[in-house]
Structures are given as C-alpha cells and as structure tokens.
Amino acid sequence: MKKIILFLLLSVSLNIYSQDKSFDFGIRTGGGLSFLVGNKSEISYGLTNGISFAYNSPKTFFLQADLLIERKTARHFVTFTNDIGNSIGVREVIGGGDIIQLYIMPGYKTKGKTKLLLSGGIFGGIFFNSHETIFPSEHYPEKEVYNDPIKGVVFDFGISASIGVQHPITEKLIFTIENRFNVSIENFMRGVHFDFANNNLMLGLAYRFSKNN
C-alpha cells in the first residue's frame, strides 16, 4: 500500500513539473490608507515598496509571495485624565511606524492576455522605526514627539484579500496593478494590543521565467 501511495505521489509530481508553468520575479511600489481597528481613528496615508515572487500554474492557479516594507500610521484623539480620573482635555495623536511584511497569497487568474487576479492569504511582519506625535491642547501647550515609543519588538499577523489586473508588456515583462486590503489580527508587544487595517494600491513590474501560460 505504501508503495502504491508513493508511486501515485511521484506520478503527480512528475506531471506537475512536466507541464508548462512559469515564475515571476519583480518589484512593487504604491501607496495606501491605514487606520486602527476597533478604535476611533481617521484615515492616514502611507507608502509600500518591495519585491514579489509568483509561481504560475499551467491553468488558473498562482501562488504569490511578497516581501514589502509598509508605512502604517493612524490619527486619533485621546482623552487625558488627572490623578483622580477626571478628564482634563483631548489631544490629537498620530502614531505608527514602518513594518516589514511577508505575504503568502494563493489565488485565481482568468485566461487570456489580460488577466483578472483574485487572491487571499496571510501576512506576518515586524514593526520598526516607530513614532508618535502628541499635539498641543488647552491644558498641554507643548507638542510631544517620541521616536521609538514602543521600545520593543512588535510582531504583526493578519489576513489579506486582493484584486488586480495583469498584462504582458512583452513575452517576459509583466505589468500588474493590484488593490490589497489587509487586517491585522494581532500585534504582540509586551502585552500591548493595537491593530491596523490598511488598503494598498500597488503597481508591479516583473520578469517572467519560462513561457507565458
């Protein structure tokens, strides 16, 4: 029985590798909007840059892995209290940081020269270069700026969904425009919890190894 299973797995593997698949490797850049989940915050702007790798099956399946540097920020208002808990004013706070994110995104693409791409998956990353600015108010006349207020490592994890369009410029050079929505499920940092959601519109340019599929 074990020999039969091994033979079937080997046959499937050889069949997959004998088919006309391709691999894409390229760069991505774009901008995005971000805000805090479960917290009253206004939308802020950020940038996204990185590299992308994709495996294209001979039919309609693809598997994409992106390594991106994203800037996530959020603008919200915090109520400050005195020592006995009474409110003494509301202050505007803008905070966030840069994050290195790894995305794993399986997806579906339509056939034809210009393809519609639909994908969903997970991401994980690490915050760095955090910052926070607290603006003046009636009771706090001075603006406060903090660099690296987190003072620790923040691991970010979440889910992502994407829709895009892909078109070949040449047989080997592929252009992609993609809109991706991400929601952090959990950030881990010494018991501190804050989650971002962000929407990125990205442009991509990739080189295709092997033939178009």
Q: Report residue 104 as tokens.
A: 């794993």
**For the chain, domain boundaries:** 26-209
Residue 6 has a pLDDT of: 44
By the 8 A CB rule, do 68 and 32 touch? no
If one compares 44 and 193, the residue with the highest pLDDT of the two is 44
DSSP conformation letters of the chain: -HHHHHHHHHHHHHHHHHS--EEEEEEEEEEEEEEETTS-EE-EEEEEEEEEEEEE-SSSEEEEEEEEEEEEEEEEEEEEE-TTS-EEEEEEEEEEEEEEEEEEEEEEE-SSSSEEEEEEEEEEEEEEEEEEEE---SS--S-EEEES-S-S--EEEEEEEEEEEEEESSSSEEEEEEEEEEEEEEEEBTTB---EEEEEEEEEEEEEES---
Residue 132 has a pLDDT of: 76
Q: Tell me, what amino acid is at 14?
A: L
Cα–Cα distance, 179 to 156 (Å, whole number): 20
Residue 194 has a pLDDT of: 53
> Residue 192 pLDDT > 80, yes or no?
no
Residue 37 has a pLDDT of: 59
If one compares 23 and 145, the residue with the highest pLDDT of the two is 23
Whether pTM > 0.85 for this model: the answer is no
Residue 154 has a pLDDT of: 73
Residue 200 has a pLDDT of: 85
Residue 12 has a pLDDT of: 41
Q: What pairs with residue 77 in β-bridges?
A: 92
Is domain 26-209 classified as CATH 2.40.160.20?
A: yes
If one compares 157 and 108, the residue with the highest pLDDT of the two is 108
By the 8 A CB rule, do 147 and 90 touch? no
Mean pLDDT of 83-106: 81
Q: Is 31 exposed, middle or buried (0-12, 13-18, 19+ CB in 10 A)?
A: middle
Indicate the average pLDDT of the chain: 78
